[in-house]
Amino acid sequence: MLGPLPASPSVFNICAYFLDRPAAEHSSRAAILGEPSQVTYAELAALAGRVAGAVTRDGVTQGDRVLIVLPDSAEFVAAFFGVAKTGAISVPVNPMTREADYAHFVRDSGARLAIVHAMALMAFLPAAVTLEAIVVVGAGAEMQLRSEMNCPEMKRWEEWLAPANHESQACATRATDPAFFLYTSGSGGSPKGAVHAHKDMLSCARGYAQGVLGIRAADITYSVSKLFFAYGLGNAMYFPFSVGAATVLDPERPRPERTAAILARYRPTVFFSVPTFYAAVLREAGKGLEFDFSSVRLTVSAGERLPPEIFERFRARFGLEIVDGIGSTEMLQMFLSARPGAIRPGSCGTPVPGYDAKILGDAGAPAADGEVGNLWVRGDSAFSGYWNIPGLTTRVKDGEWVLTGDKFQRDSDGYYHYCGRADDMMKVAGQWVSPGEVENALLGHSMVAEAAVVALLDETGLERPLAFVVLREGSGAVAEVAEELREFVRGRLPGYKCPCEVRFLEALPKTATGKIQRFLLREACRRRHFPRGMKCG
């Protein structure tokens, strides 16, 4: 049920609250521990102020969009909050994506200005023709491209910031004014921009970070998920900043060996990741890589359902229970979560304080306990709508309620269980089959590293489960393993849930957040064509 969270103030600016306020209260305290160097709250607030001054000087006004194409860094945080400080809208996107994605982000957002890291410039420039200017962070020889390409004015970050006044006051934005929008991760198709107001971060910080996780000033957070994702933005930025805690930022791609080094060097107390990365940690730990979780008091998972098999193996290996939850870009952060000390493996827990949830059948009637249905949620962090897609907004929002697109069931004790994305669920012999349940059964086999299950239409036009598997190193012949895996699942699940076929891949297709892109597997099956890196055996 909706909890008793305080109402948001009518005038509220996220930069004033999450950055200027802690800078005034404890200016010398570290906001960012690394990488590559420590930055205090005072230094970070001053940098954001200089961004705000430079943005204003360039003619960006309230409501204008500014693209942020930066790795996790002090520059990202300063750019994000500095833009919002002026009343303009921050639009962070993946700095490691493709030219086609950048073209979509530029065209869809209608941004006037982009702040881009030099490492992304080559891929970004062909998409930038409609921008007025690009500010380049870490600029080097790439700046010479401006004389060779039809691109907007390009400015070096240090020179762009130099004349800016960092003492400027935050714009007196209303709490409901748009502050930023985030593009959905693309697990189900083209990314869509979910527009969020200034108040939304405050709701998430109060309800989940403080109300569930108990984030406190002494904490050090470290998130494998990056800042341009809704999940990472909270974990590594406004959650710790809401209480004056510190964060560890890593500009590099997440890799188990990188995470092992960061755990040893910075000794975080709260660790955020996704199920596929927890599986990777376990895999590498089994090969001898050292992971020192001794400083960590909480490990948190989201992004996809956390298989009970991974939960149990992680607890046995490291002595930590993973707090699983589910959120969305549309709701900004978690709306359902397990509670530390009261975890049921395989469950996403119960509603976060300030949020409510309901499960409805396809006809709109409430689902009984144990029945699979469509999950609807409500809470004060719900997005305002999809940018430039009012028709889709109307289909997804019904007053305060938001349709998540997830299939769920609730048990008799009120715990919610994720069954899969609505598009991923299948009906076999008239009964719902959750891909996650079959995948977890497969993961229980010692030879299986990763698994994904999709619906396959048989020769009669009926749906059957088809399993894609990535094997651990040193597994046996594929034909023998396929039948062994099918027999293994038959011993654990009813017959109609068992895969009709097992196919083997070198890697599963995933979004940058680690979510499995099952729609690509379905499409690959239909076309009988598997892209490079998805070679099917």
Distances (CA, A) of 365 to 355, 372, 392, 396: 20, 12, 22, 17
- CATH code, domain carrying 449: 3.30.300.30
Q: Is residue 536 part of a domain?
A: no
Q: How confident is the model at residue 1 (pLDDT cuts 50, 70, 90)?
A: very low
pLDDT of residue 94: 92
> Are residues 482 and 511 located together in one domain of the fold?
yes
Higher pLDDT, 148 or 365: 365
| Per-residue three-class SS string for 507-527 | CCCECCCCCECHHHHHHHHHH
Identify the weakest region by mean pLDDT among 199-213, 360-374, 430-444, 523-537. Answer: 523-537
Instruction: Collect all residues with Cβ–Cβ distance below 8 Å to 40 and sequence separation of at least 6.
Output: 27, 28, 29, 30, 31
pLDDT of residue 472: 84
Q: Are strands 178-183 and 373-379 parallel, antiparallel or unpaired?
A: unpaired
Which of 421, 456, 488 is at the close of a domain? 421
Q: Is residue 131 part of a domain?
A: yes
Determine the Cα–Cα distance for residues 357 and 339; give it in Å rounded to an integer. 16
Residue whose C-alpha is closest to residue 426's, from 488, 369, 372: 372
> Are residues 143 and 203 located together in one domain of the fold?
no
> Mean per-residue pLDDT for 275-281?
88
The listed range with the strongest mean pLDDT (160-169, 188-197, 398-407) is: 398-407
Q: Is residue 378 part of a domain?
A: yes
Using DSSP's 3-state secondary structure scheme, residue 320 falls into coil
**pLDDT surpasses 90 at 52:** yes
Mean pLDDT of the chain: 89
pLDDT of residue 307: 85
**pLDDT surpasses 80 at 178:** yes
> Are residues 325 and 379 located together in one domain of the fold?
yes
> Are residues 260 and 333 located together in one domain of the fold?
yes
Residue 199's CB is within 10 A of a number of other CB atoms, namely 22
Distances (CA, A) of 214 to 19, 45, 76, 294, 416: 20, 25, 26, 19, 21
Structure tokens at 19: 């950055």
> Are residues 382 and 273 located together in one domain of the fold?
yes
Q: How confident is the model at residue 524 (pLDDT cuts 50, 70, 90)?
A: confident
**Long-range pairs for 484-492: beta carbons < 8 A, 24 or more residues apart:** 484/445, 484/447, 485/442, 485/445, 485/447, 485/448, 488/441, 488/442, 488/444, 488/445, 489/438, 489/441, 489/442, 492/441, 492/444
> Are residues 252 and 162 located together in one domain of the fold?
no
> Are residues 201 and 131 located together in one domain of the fold?
no
**pLDDT surpasses 60 at 242:** yes
pLDDT of residue 533: 47
Which of 421, 436, 454 is at the close of a domain? 421
Residue whose C-alpha is closest to residue 331's, from 207, 190, 510: 207
Identify the weakest region by mean pLDDT among 45-59, 384-398, 399-413, 497-511. Answer: 497-511
- CATH code, domain carrying 211: 3.40.50.12780
> Mean per-residue pLDDT for 91-99?
92
Q: Is residue 4 part of a domain?
A: no
| Per-residue three-class SS string for 167-230 | CCCCCCCECCCEEEEEECCCCCCCCCEEEEEHHHHHHHHHHHHHCCCCCCCCCEEEECCCCCCH
Residue whose C-alpha is closest to residue 242's, from 6, 4, 22: 22
> Mean per-residue pLDDT for 491-498?
85
Which of 403, 421, 439 is at the close of a domain? 421
Residue whose C-alpha is closest to residue 333's, from 199, 410, 222, 235: 235
> Mean per-residue pLDDT for 522-526?
75
pLDDT of residue 14: 98
| Per-residue three-class SS string for 89-116 | EEEECCCCCCHHHHHHHHHHHCCCEEEE
> Are residues 154 and 279 located together in one domain of the fold?
no
Q: How confident is the model at residue 517 (pLDDT cuts 50, 70, 90)?
A: confident
341: left (phi over 0), alpha (psi -120 to 50) or beta: left
Amino acid at 174: R
> Are residues 157 and 213 located together in one domain of the fold?
no
Q: Is residue 192 part of a domain?
A: no
Portion of the chain with pLDDT greater than 70, in percent:
90
> Are residues 136 and 102 located together in one domain of the fold?
yes
Identify the weakest region by mean pLDDT among 144-158, 350-364, 428-442, 478-492. Answer: 144-158
Determine the Cα–Cα distance for residues 224 and 338; give it in Å rounded to an integer. 20
Q: Is residue 358 part of a domain?
A: yes
> Mean per-residue pLDDT for 516-537?
66
- How many residues are there in the chain? 537
Peptide bond between residue 275 and the one before it cis (omega within 30 degrees of 0): no
The listed range with the strongest mean pLDDT (224-228, 436-440, 448-452, 469-473) is: 224-228
> Mean per-residue pLDDT for 251-262?
94
Positive or negative torsion for Cα 201, 231, 5, 298? negative
> Are residues 96 and 19 located together in one domain of the fold?
yes
Instruction: Collect all residues with Cβ–Cβ distance below 8 Å to 466 and sequence separation of at least 6.
Output: 453, 454, 455, 456, 499, 500, 501, 503, 525
| Structural domain range at position 111 | 14-183
> Mean per-residue pLDDT for 257-266?
97
**pLDDT surpasses 70 at 115:** yes
> Are residues 81 and 113 located together in one domain of the fold?
yes
406 within 8 A of 326, measured Cβ to Cβ: yes
Number of separate domains in the chain:
3
Q: Cite the DSSP H helix spans in 195-354.
A: 198-204, 230-233, 239-243, 256-266, 275-286, 308-318
> Mean per-residue pLDDT for 452-481?
78
Q: How confident is the model at residue 152 (pLDDT cuts 50, 70, 90)?
A: confident
Residue whose C-alpha is closest to residue 55's, from 144, 149, 171, 145: 171
> Mean per-residue pLDDT for 388-395?
94
Amino acid at 160: W
Determine the Cα–Cα distance for residues 339 and 352; give it in Å rounded to an integer. 9
Q: Is residue 191 part of a domain?
A: no
pLDDT of residue 461: 64
Structure tokens at 496: 């109609």
Positive or negative torsion for Cα 252, 89, 213, 187? negative
Portion of the chain with pLDDT greater than 90, in percent:
67
Tokens 């769920």 map to which residue?
408
